[in-house]
Amino acid sequence: MSLNLHLEHFENSFTMDTSARLVVSTVSNIQDSAATIDLSGFDVSASVFGETFYIKMDTDIIGDASSVWYYVDKSKWTNSTDTMNPIHGVATLGQFVDSDDIGEDFIREIARQCFGTHLASDLFTNENAMYTDISGKCALVSTDINNKISAADIAAGTITNMPTDASSNKYLTDAYDGSNNLTKLMFNALYALDTPRFADISSNHSYPEKGVGFYKLPFEANDVIEFRLTLSPHPDTFTSVPTKSGIELENRIYKCKLTLK
């Protein structure tokens, strides 16, 4: 059974710095709506994810996680910066045009709100600048997510007072409830959603390369890690494209999906 894990800690939002531009703006009576779409293309193997997020404990799960140590080894996920960049995804649900990426889709959404149809996006005279703006901010989203992962890394972890084990690897304990304890958050979600995965973790998910008592989190192919990304148009869009007055453009919420293979 595949699982969907929603990570609030990865959620992001940004407002465009570039406003849509027109030569002449005369359209009115536009319909407003908000939408959520799925993005695909964020793929990484369940094996790599398990090697990135792993735990140490003395015995199999018995309903008490108080003695569990939580680790993040970001070096195992070598392409995480590209993987978690929303601009590399493909819109698969709620999209205007198949195979659009998030930049193309959001420009069409701005056109829909301005003109009543996404097909009017070509009326904008600065589409390339708008796309570059969105792409650059998506790169910042990826950087933010990767910084959050790195904060708990076994080597580069920056969380205050992280303990170290006998191998000088940093980790977090169950006592640390901060949102940066990503492995703990995913551990708890997996245990709540599919407890039987932990029935024989010693046989199925042991991590002997790390030592005795180490286990990969029991991710499986087709599990989904998801986070929300909220995009906001530049606030003066209805000034530069005056199809309405006194109304702000709506945000568009994207559900970004990391599908494990």
Long-range contacts of 74-77 (CB under 8 A, 24+ apart): 74/146, 74/149, 74/150, 74/153, 74/156, 75/155, 76/48, 76/51, 76/52, 77/44, 77/48, 77/49, 77/52, 77/149
Mean pLDDT in the chain?
Answer: 83
Domain boundaries, the chain: 4-260
Q: Is the pLDDT of residue 38 over 70?
A: no
Q: What is the pLDDT of residue 26?
A: 33
- Its pTM stands at 0.82
Q: How would residue 31 be classed by pLDDT, with cut points 50, 70 and 90? A: very low
Task: Enumerate the H helices of 151-181 as residue ranges.
Answer: none
pLDDT for residue 40 is more than 60: no
DSSP 3-state of 214: strand
pLDDT value at position 21? Answer: 42
Q: What is the pLDDT of residue 243?
A: 72
| C-alpha distances in Å from residue 192, one per residue of 5, 8, 111, 251 | 11, 17, 42, 32
Extended beta strands in 73-223, E state: 90-93, 172-173, 214-216
Measuring CA to CA, which residue among 7, 233, 12, 259 is closest to residue 143?
Answer: 12
pLDDT tier for residue 98 given thresholds of 50, 70 and 90: confident
67 and 54 Cβ atoms separated by less than 8 Å: no
Full strand arrangement of the beta sheet holding 53-56: 172-173, 69-72, 53-56, 214-216
